[in-house]
Structure 1
Amino acid sequence: MVAAVLSHPSSAGRAFERGTVLAFDFGTRRIGVAVGEFELRSANPLATIAFEDNARRFAAIEKLVREWQPVLLVVGCPLGLDGQEHAMTARARRFANQLHGRLNLPVALADERLTSVEAERLGAGDRVDAVAAQLILLGYFDADS
C-alpha cells in the first residue's frame, strides 16, 4: 500500500534522510504507535496507548519520545475512500498539532485510509492499532522516496 504524504514538516521537501521516526494511528480510544528508520525504510509495531484522558496519553507518548529520540513524527490522517475529510480528520490534525506543540518535533501527516482494515486482515489481533501505525509509516516512506 502506498499512502499519500499529506503534509511535509518542511517546505523544502525531504528534510530528513537519517534517524528514527515514530508513527501514530490516532483513535479516540486507542493510539497505535510504530517505530521506523529512515535509512532502512523499515517500520515495526511498537505500542498501543489505551488511555482515554489526554494527560496520560501524552505522558506515554513523551516516554516513547525520550526512549526512541525520533527526528520526525508521522500521524495518520483519516480520509474517506473518496479522499474527502470528515470529523476524525480534524481530530487527527488537532492531535498532530498537539504533538508538535508539546514535543517541539516536526510532524508530517500521511494518508491512513484502510490501514486498520489491512492490519486486521493481517491478523494483528490486539496489536491492530500498532500494526496500523506500522502500515502508515511504511506508506509514508514509500510516498516520500
Structure 2
Amino acid sequence: MVVIAIDYGEKKIGLAVGNTETMTSSPISIIKKAKTGFNWDELKEKIMEWEPNRIIIGKPLNMDGTRSDFMEKVERFAKKLRSSNRY
C-alpha cells in the first residue's frame, strides 16, 4: 500500500511517501506557503503523481500527549483536504 504522509506547518508543508509492502519511506516534497495561502494545486499534483491508498497527517501533540494549540489549524487543513480530494 502506498501512503503519503503530510507534516503541516505554519510556513511549509512536508510530504513523504511510504510503501507498507517494502517498509520504506522517502521525502518527496516541501511545499512553501505563500502570503496568499497554501498552493492546493501543487499538493494535488503530488497526490495524483503517487496515487496513494491512504494519506496521513501528523498530529501536533504536546510532550505530555495532550493537544497542542496548533492542532485546530491542522484539523482545518485535514477537513479541507478531505473535501477537496475525497480522502
With normalisation by structure 1, the TM-score equals 0.56
Cα offset, 1:91, TM superposition: 1.0
Amino acid at match of 1:73: I
Higher relative contact order (CA 8 A, sep 6+): 1
Give matches, 1:14-93, under 5 Å.
19-52=1-34, 53-54=37-38, 56=39, 58-93=40-75
Overall identity of the aligned pairs, in %: 28
Amino acid at match of 1:66: M
Q: Number of paired residues?
A: 85
Unaligned residue ranges in structure 1 (runs of 5+):
1-18, 106-145
Equivalent position SS for 1:32:
strand
Query: Where does structure 1 differ by over 2 angstroms across 4 or more consecutive aligned residues?
Result: none
Paired with 1:97 and 1:44, the residues of 2 have a C-alpha distance of 25
Amino acid at match of 2:56: V
Tell me how large the CA RMSD over aligned residues is. Answer: 1.1
Cα offset, 1:41, TM superposition: 2.2
Decide which structure has greater strand share. Answer: 2
Paired with 1:100 and 1:79, the residues of 2 have a C-alpha distance of 21
Paired with 1:96 and 1:38, the residues of 2 have a C-alpha distance of 22
Unaligned residue ranges in structure 2 (runs of 5+):
none
